[in-house]
Amino acid sequence: MPLKIYKPIFDMRSNYLISTLVVLASLFSCDNDDDAVADPVIRLEIQDNSSQVIDSVLANGETLVVLKARISSSADDDIQMIEFNKSAGDFLGIAGATTTRPVNDEGIASITVKVPNKVERLFFNAKVSFAGKDYIAEDDLETYRAYPDQIIIEPSTVSVVIPGTVVLTTFLVRNDGIVSEGTEAQFSAYQVIDKERVAVGRFTG
């Protein structure tokens, strides 16, 4: 029986594709390395009232946080003001979603923000412009729900003739700030019969 010899077949297109991918990967790697060592023109951080950097805060409508922006030493010395922007909350003593603050001798500008009582992620940025370009630093803050420390119920009457209606006005109270928007209160009505709770009535509205 004759011996068959099979010759390997090379797909030059596959080799070309692999080479191309290797070259592209090298180019992207070089770009990322350059970005990693670059000194940002402006940096932004969020601090609490003790100057500690934070990433979350209580949504009680009263908590204050400080946005602190720092200009790089390599930036233009003529930068005198930094623009601050926010997605929600209030700049302390300043109306609007945008404001500017002067840069001090250390290249720092700061602004205080009152956190709202709505549970949502807050977004902030600080911006400077020089040499025809805008430079922006961004940061965000997660908020968590402020629950009540006390629940006060005021009925429209202390006695009712059955069948009858009683309106319950409910207050959710906190010792600091206010309860977060959207916080729910659950109600139940019952009588105690033979030391057992028996549900009564029907809630409407």
- In this structure, the strands spanning 64-71 and 42-47 are antiparallel
From residue 178, how far is each of 58, 61, 120, 174, 175 by CA, in Å? 10, 6, 16, 6, 8
39 confidence band (pLDDT: 50, 70, 90): low
CA of residue 38 relative to chain centroid, distance: 26
pTM as predicted: 0.72
The more confidently predicted of residues 158 and 5 is 158
pLDDT, one tens digit per residue, over 67-79 is: 999 998 877 678 8
Q: Assign 81 to helix, strand or coil.
A: strand
Longest Cα separation, the chain: 111
**pLDDT confidence tier of residue 92, bands split at 50, 70 and 90:** very high
Percent with pLDDT over 70 in the chain? 80
Residue 143 contacts by C-beta under 8 Å, 6 or more apart in sequence? 56, 57, 58, 59, 115, 116, 118, 119, 120, 121, 122
More confident residue, 22 or 136: 136
Of the CA atoms within 13 Å of residue 54, those in its CB half-sphere come to 19
* Distances, alpha carbon 64 to alpha carbons 54, 94, 108, in Å: 12, 14, 19
Lowest model confidence (mean pLDDT) among 14-18, 90-94, 127-131: 14-18
- For 114-159, give the DSSP string: E--SS-S-EEEEEEEEETTEEEEEEEEEEEEE---SEEEEEES-S-
Rounded average pLDDT over 139-150: 97
In terms of pLDDT, which residue wins out, 53 or 5? 53
